[in-house]
Every structure is written in structure tokens, then in C-alpha cells.
Structure 1
Amino acid sequence: MNRFRVTSPFGFRVFAFGCLLPLGLAGCKHDAAPVPDLPKANLKVETVHSQNIGDTLEIPGRVEADPEHLVHIYAPLSGRLLNLKLTAGQEVRKGQAIAMLQSGDVAQARADFEKAHIETLRADHALERGKLLVAHEVMSQADFQELQAADDAAHAEQERARQRIHELGFSENGTSDMTAITSPITGTALEVGTASGEMQRSLETTNAIATVANLDTVWITGDLFEHDLGAVPLHRPVDILFSAYPGETFHGTIANIGDSLDPTTHAVKVRVVLANPGHRLKPAMFATLRIARPSVMRILVPVEAVLHDGDVTEVYIPSSAGKYTLRQVVTGPTRGKQIEIVSGLHDGDRIVTEGAAFLRQPVGD
């Protein structure tokens, strides 16, 4: 029985034998008319060479406020917030009052101070009387020392109560229970977490009254994956693009690479610090970090030359007498209409660059 290899007009390789099996026939007649040859697929075989390829790594990132110039403002004591004069995006100065706080803690602190003051006066009088009694040998030296210790303790308690009032921002001689909430830095209010009239619990509140940041410099952070760590050293120049400013490129250097991998993504944080004149860069703005990596010698082949079989990638290599064999390769990134071959091919190898798909063995009967 004669066997012919033909290719159909639809691109599939067909193996034809010297007879056709009509539908329903079990036998084969040797005198059947031969199948006419169909046009064969055009195959192109080329020699591949290594070439020096410049590589650029792109990392998605985002803008963050510099934590060294960011503060969360909380109430220094419990009370009711009044006259909040701050909105998100507003510029504030260091020491500027952003709200008033009315607190019952102040009244309690002043009461504690008054009580301590009274105890101090009582201890002072007792000590003065004790001095007279000791002088007339009516009181023992041990009893007098007890009076001295009690007087020292009363003065210490009075000073503690005085310091508590000062910590709250008040004077022990005042009468007001209102205090101003001020910004400790000059910056921009990123968010405001409360409103006038709300009660503040200084030891229980998890939401800050406001978050203020100085945006004169900002951080650009991105995720650097584990397999790229060796190619990105500290202080490598970086080009940064923002979708908000198309056609404009910002320049910086890598200021920090994190020391711990995220257990889920296996990436570390990479950081670039940028000056931000005019505050054009806003926190949470998306960015793209482009990092030039050292050039490498790689082989580039047309994308259609590489065949995929599950997780395996292969190319056809011409052998002899018009025969072709498959060789497994490892591919890298795609560059336009070409794909990088990391391993599996060598400089000077010949491969099928066009029509490789037609050489696949047909699937099924």
C-alpha cells in the first residue's frame, strides 16, 4: 500500500494511502485512483543568532505620603469636638487651630489639683507645729520625721496634679474647659475623620480627627518580584510615568528595597523618593516605574515559530531529507512580533520560522 503526505488547503497535514475508505466499507481496493497532491505548506527555515538585548523592567506603583512627614491628629483628652475648621485637601500651618475641644477631664484635673493643694497646706501646718514640739522636747524625733515624710508626699501629689493640668493644655489657675486642637506640622489635610459635635475618647478613638502630611516630597512604591531582585540594585536610576501626565517622564533613583517578601505575592517593596513642587503628585495616584536592566545576549525568534503544548514550548529543527524534529525551549518576554529564547537554542542553529504549525502531527484518527 502506497502512502503519501499531503497538506489540505485548510492548513492541516493529511496522510493519504493508496486507497480511500468509503464510508461503511471495511476493505481497501488496491486499484483505486491515487489521491492528487495538494499544495504543500510553505516552510521557511532560518539560522538564528544571539544578539545583545537591552532590557527594561516595568513595575506598577503608586504615590504615598512620606511617613516621616505625616501625622495623625487625635484628641489629647476626652470631650466634645466643636468648631472643626478643616476639610480634606486644605493647607494648614504648624500651630494652626483646626478645632476646639470641650472636656470634663479639665474640671476633674483642676479638682484633683485643689484637693492636693489643700492637703499640702495641711501638711505644711502640721510640720510647722511639729518643729515647735520637737524644740520643746514634747515630740519624738521619729514622729517628726513622719510629719516630714507626709509633707513631702503632699507636695509631690500637688506637683503631679499641676503637671496633669498642663499636659491637658490648661493652667491650674484658669476656669475654662475649652482647648484648641492644633496641627503639629505644616502640610495638607489628606482626610478628616470626624465632625463638629462628636464625642472624642482620647484612649479609645481609633479614627484620627485629621491626617496631615507635608507633600513637598513623596514616595513612589512598587512591588519587585523575587525573580527580579538580582537585577535591580539600590540607587539604580528609574524613570517614572503617571497616567495623569501623559508624555511626561519623572526621574529618580531607588532609595530602598524591602528586606521581607510578601508571603502571598513573593514580592518586596521598592521605593523611590521624589521632590514634589506644586504638589502635582497626589497620594494614591498610580505610577509606572521603568528600570533599565543590564544588557544580555539572547536569541529572538518569530512568535509563530514557537509551538505550545500545555506547559511545554517547542520549535522545529530541520534534520535530514526534509524531516523535522521538535526541540524544547524556554522562552522569555515577547518583544513585538518576536519572542526571547532563554535556553534550548544556540547561536547558528537553524529552525522553522514560518509554517511550523503545519508540521504538527494530526490529533486523532
Structure 2
Amino acid sequence: MDDKEKHADEIVFTHEQAEAAGLRTETVKPAEFRFVIKTGGQILAAQGDERTIAATASGIVTFAKTTTTEGSAVKAGETVVGISAKTLQDGDPAVKAKAAYEAAKKELRRADKLVSDKIISEKEFEQIRLAYETARAAYQGTAGSVTAKGVSVSSPITGYIKSLLVNNGEYVNVGQAIAVVSQNKRLTLRADVPEKDFKDLHSIKSANFKPAYENTAYSLDRLNGRLISYGRTATANSAFIPVTFEFDNIGSFVAGSYADIYLLSDRRDNIISVPLSAITEEQGLKYVYLQAGHDIFRKREVTTGMSDGKRIEITKGLKTGDKVVTTGTYQVKMAASSTSIPQHSHNH
């Protein structure tokens, strides 16, 4: 092999050019790697899973237990909060409701007699009866639940408190949401995986996901998540294969919302990988640039495997100790297409 042939694949990229390009290299060494399939999907809850507890009166909220927090277990019918208006300027609505009911009851008894004696008209009697019915309904709404702490508000279902929407000692209006109770401590994450990735599904062990309504990415590993199943075929009306996980329902996850999902493979050891920025593509083939000497670089064809979104596995073409260009790749590529090796670089 003559000298010219020996250096035919060399690219000269001077120190000055490297500085200008912000050139960075990385020395190849095998390490642990898990690849990622990026896809979309949905956060799902079981039907009839959640109930909102609303204030049945206006007043100051006192939690029934000092230990009440998000995640606390509750039973159906168990008091979650008391609402008292005793210290408020307008007085306690529960006490007022009782007084109004007693007064309306008395008034109705009197009207009953008056209408039979034709002292008041049927129309007037009807208005008094309606006022009584209204007062009775208002009183009955609170009567069974009045305690020393005020009106007690209980959970309609057995489950756990998913979110507390008010603080202890806060003022609430009637109808205001106080807490959300969920029957299920778990939610489902369904990822819709394109058919082309089916062959890699057996390696999937976990996932990270980012709900559409926020910028935070969550790790299933940190939410006590686990893989439940993955489909063996695409669903009838789509070209996607469902992969289903379940995880602890803590935080502000909105059931039914969409999410970006990053499916993670199990960890593999001794994998050679490079940053995605190191790879260039020409006519369907993939290449990296290696630093072979001080100002000398070489182009190397590589075969790539899976990616984790930041790095990509190299299955063929690189070995431990190779110095791969990771930043400035494009500039080296441009130099390669314009370089004819100057003679002085061979005068060893």
C-alpha cells in the first residue's frame, strides 16, 4: 500500500478549526444502557372511581382527624370534616336552619287553622306551606350531621383521600369542593406502541411519562409502577399495540388525559453507545468521525441499535478506546468533503 492510499481516508481538521467548531470528543467505553421507545398514550382510571366531597354548609372547616392528609384511608359514611359558623358574624347556619324550621312549623300550624276558618286564602296558605317545606329541607340537610364541630361532612365511598382542596381552619361556601376521594390507589397508563416497535416490546420493563397538561416527567419506578401487559397484536381499529402499566395514584394526575410516554427497556451491561449528536447519515448509512491524531480525523461506518433519547447503541463499528467526535460533527463532515490531504502532513 503506498503512502497516498494509506492516508486516503484521513481528514485534516486543524486545532484552530476545532476551536471554532467547539469540537468535543468522547472516549468509547462499554457501560450500562437502557433504550427508550417514545410514544403516546393515556392515563386511565377505573369507572366510578372518584367522588368529590362538597361542603353542605358555609363556615370554618375542621378536619375530623388531625392525621387527615392526602393518601389517608376513609370509609363510606365516615366524617371527613366539620363545618362550623359559630364564630362568624352571621351566626351558625345549622343553628339558624333549625330556628327557621321551628318557626316555619309553628307558622304552618297556625295557617292550617286560619285556612279552615277561611281567614286566609288557599293561595296564602300555599305560600306558607312552601316556606315550611323549604325550611324543612334546609334543616334536614344539616340535622343528621350536626356535631360539636358543626355540620359533619362524610365520605360517600370507601377509599382514600386523593386530594385535599382546603386547609384546616379555612372558610368554605356551601357547595365548595373540600376533597376528592378515590376508591383506587392505582391508575393505569396505556401506551400505544407502533407496530414497527413490536419486536422490542419483550424488553420493556418500565416507563417515564409526561402528562399533556404539564412539563414534569414522572418515573413509574418512583410511583411503585409495574408492567401489567402488552398486546400481542394491534387493536382492530388502530395500528398500535397497547402496553399497560399501573402505578400509585398520588399527585394531580387527571384520569383520561393524554401523555407523552417513554418506554424503558431493562438495563443491559457492556453496551457501547454514543451521543446522538455523534451520528451523521449519508444515503441511508450511518457514520461517526474518530480522532486519529492531533489534527487527523477518520470517518467510520457504524451500525446502530436502540436509543434512549439522548444516546444510541452502536452494535458494530466502534471499540473501547476509540475517540468519537460528539460536538462539531457537522463541521468535520464539511471538512471531509472539501479536504484533499495536504502533502506536508505526511512528512513524518
Q: TM-score, normalised by structure 1?
A: 0.46
Give the structure with higher Rg (CA): 1
With the length of structure 2 as denominator, give the TM-score of the two structures. 0.48
